[in-house]
Structure 1
């Protein structure tokens, strides 16, 4: 499995937002959606505020592939479900990184529905 370089982890992990475009069944990219991104160790994660019912999340289920852009990095990725064992750590990073938005806004990604729609981003090399 491919891994992120330290430069990619730093750039994407420190970026305020990430644009994510999932691949359709025919291989074409959907329109990108802007979202928050967090780094936990050597991994990058995104969550859908609308849980598994969210349109962009459902789009990631088609091929489990897409393209991201953040922090000056644009790369193709594979989407995989995050290990529930890291949900608490991911919550902590969301709360710390985006604390200026307040608990009401952060609560949109730190709740059981959003946790169930946590995606780990894996670079395709």
Structure 2
């Protein structure tokens, strides 16, 4: 069982504009793919919900904390691990740096305290 990304996967997923994410449902099937933003911080891949913890795709990750992602040509099963609070500022900076060309309101939303509560570290499985 893999527990770390390869350097190539980190580069490809981290530089992808968008990531397709699905969670494992209670019955073991994958949910519908959702397209979200993704950032790399060091050797980690992180996602968060711009709409905070009430977002449907985020709520779906809570039950089994497993799913599947596709980005940058990488197609991988992952675990959704709640990110440590001390990485929040680095994840905020990564979102601002990568997506700063979008409207300021969108960047403010993805780096808001509400969105930050949903920050997940994607761990290969």
TM-score between both structures, scaled by the size of structure 1: 0.97
Q: RMSD in angstroms over aligned alpha carbons? A: 0.9
- Map Cα deviations across residues 61-105 of structure 1 (whole Å, 9 max, x no partner): 010000000000000000010001000010001001001103211
| C-alpha distance in structure 2 between counterparts of 1:65 and 1:105, whole Å | 27
| Residue of structure 2 equivalent to 1:111 | 112
Aligned residue runs from structure 1 range 33-72, under 5 A = 33-72=34-73
| Structure 1 position 23, deviation (Å) | 0.5
| C-alpha distance in structure 2 between counterparts of 1:12 and 1:116, whole Å | 22
| C-alpha distance in structure 2 between counterparts of 1:80 and 1:123, whole Å | 11
| Residue of structure 2 equivalent to 1:102 | 103
Q: Where has structure 1 moved over 3 Å in runs of 4 or more?
A: none
| Residue of structure 1 equivalent to 2:26 | 25
